[in-house]
């Protein structure tokens, strides 16, 4: 079993609210030079969830579940940056206002640029939410370390989720991480060069549709864990031969050049010490039974 410093990782409360859906007055232009006008980031999504396909939506940068933030006018200032940083994938979120007060969900990722934290809730909760509702996140994960693997760095990951991901220890100081797919580093686009590994995401470029299909990346789903080869996310998002980064798909495909499904980074090493193992079950929804994988509620039997 992986030894960590989880008992020394600080757990804090941070609080956000629903982010209003982004709307454009004019068209954007895709990688082929064609204009488009489509739904995008933000809001309460009723029909896009963890476990759904990341491709094929009539939208751009679509975020599953509920998109949240603190201050839409000051996205890059505290306390919005604190909310974005402290909220980790797998953290528990609690509705603290409105008709759904007390209901619980799970943080599924954070989106850079928008500075959104996405939260998954059951359908019956989504129906009760409104645009003024607030959410308390029991933030736990930043500062997490693998005690026997000092060169392997962990960010944005709830310690409880780490235990459930099926990571195995290998010889030679390596770990094996289950992932749905392996992404070649040359496909990473928007976000490369950023030093904000503890917040946000970066995109798998999908302009070359033939390459994406050949690699099977067009089958990716929200919540899939993926490995990015030759990419170092320890002190910045950069190409480095032999480095490996494991992350999670957090938003949909995009039409803009240099963009595509977003990946929040979770585990990274500048050395070849992370060994990806392809496993179709390596999805956050399957592991935590959320999104499309939430068990259906049993109907109460009618009294005779």
3-state secondary structure of 170: coil
- Whether 119 and 163 map to the same domain: the answer is no
Reported as a pLDDT band with limits 50, 70 and 90, residue 25 is confident
Distance CA 85, CA 72 (A): 16
Beta bridge partners, 111, equal: 116
The half-sphere exposure of 166 on its side-chain side, counting CA atoms within 13 A, is 18
* 294 within a domain of the structure (yes/no): no
- Whether 217 and 107 map to the same domain: the answer is no
pLDDT in tens, 112-160: 999 999 999 999 999 999 999 999 999 999 999 999 999 999 999 999 9
> What are the CA-CA distances from residue 289 to residues 8, 68, 125, 264, 285 (Å)?
27, 21, 16, 20, 5
> What are the CA-CA distances from residue 16 to residues 28, 243, 271 (Å)?
29, 34, 36
- Whether 160 and 68 map to the same domain: the answer is no
- Whether 48 and 136 map to the same domain: the answer is yes
- Whether 187 and 211 map to the same domain: the answer is yes
* 49 within a domain of the structure (yes/no): yes
Beta strand 28-29 pairing with 35-36: antiparallel
* 296 within a domain of the structure (yes/no): no
* 297 within a domain of the structure (yes/no): no
* 304 within a domain of the structure (yes/no): no
* 147 within a domain of the structure (yes/no): no
The CATH number for 15's domain is: 2.40.10.170
- Whether 65 and 121 map to the same domain: the answer is yes
Q: Poorest-confidence range of 22-31, 137-146, 278-287? A: 22-31
3-state secondary structure of 130: coil
- DSSP-derived letter for residue 23 is -
* Number of neighbours of residue 28 by Cβ within 10 angstroms: 15
pLDDT in tens, 162-205: 999 999 999 999 999 999 999 999 999 999 999 999 999 999 99
The CATH number for 276's domain is: 2.102.30.10
- Whether 193 and 263 map to the same domain: the answer is yes
Domains in the chain, number: 2
> What are the CA-CA distances from residue 217 to residues 184, 200, 206 (Å)?
10, 21, 9
- Whether 135 and 176 map to the same domain: the answer is no
Q: Which domain holds residue 16?
A: 9-140
* 238 within a domain of the structure (yes/no): yes
* 269 within a domain of the structure (yes/no): yes
């Amino acid at each position: 079993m992986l030894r960590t410093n989880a008992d020394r990782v600080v757990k804090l409360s941070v609080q956000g609210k629903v982010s209003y859906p982004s709307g454009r007055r004019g068209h954007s232009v895709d990688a082929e030079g064609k204009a488009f006008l489509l739904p995008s980031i933000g809001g309460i999504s009723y029909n896009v969830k963890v476990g759904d396909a990341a491709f094929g939506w009539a939208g751009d940068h679509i975020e599953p579940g509920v998109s949240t933030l603190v201050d839409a006018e000051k996205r890059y200032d505290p306390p919005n940056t604190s909310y974005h940083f402290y909220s980790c994938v797998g953290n528990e979120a609690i509705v603290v206002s409105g008709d759904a007060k007390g209901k619980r969900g799970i943080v599924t990722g954070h989106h850079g640029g928008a500075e959104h934290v996405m939260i998954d809730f059951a359908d019956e909760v989504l129906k009760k939410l409104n645009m003024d509702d607030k959410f308390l996140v029991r933030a736990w994960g930043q500062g997490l370390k693998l005690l026997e693997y000092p060169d392997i760095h962990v960010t944005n990951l709830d310690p409880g989720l780490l235990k459930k991901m099926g990571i195995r220890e290998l010889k030679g100081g390596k770990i094996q991480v289950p992932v749905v797919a392996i992404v070649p580093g040359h496909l990473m686009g928007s976000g490369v060069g950023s030093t904000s590994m503890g917040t946000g995401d970066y995109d798998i470029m999908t302009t070359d549709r033939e390459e994406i299909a050949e690699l099977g990346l067009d089958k990716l789903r929200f919540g899939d864990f993926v490995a990015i080869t030759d990419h170092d996310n320890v002190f910045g998002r950069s190409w480095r031969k032999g480095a490996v980064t494991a992350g999670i798909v957090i938003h949909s495909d995009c039409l803009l050049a240099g963009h595509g499904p977003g990946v929040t980074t979770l585990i990274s090493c500048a050395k070849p010490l992370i060994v990806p193992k392809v496993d179709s079950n390596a999805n956050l929804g399957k592991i935590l039974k959320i999104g499309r994988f939430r068990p259906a509620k049993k109907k109460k039997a009618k009294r005779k």
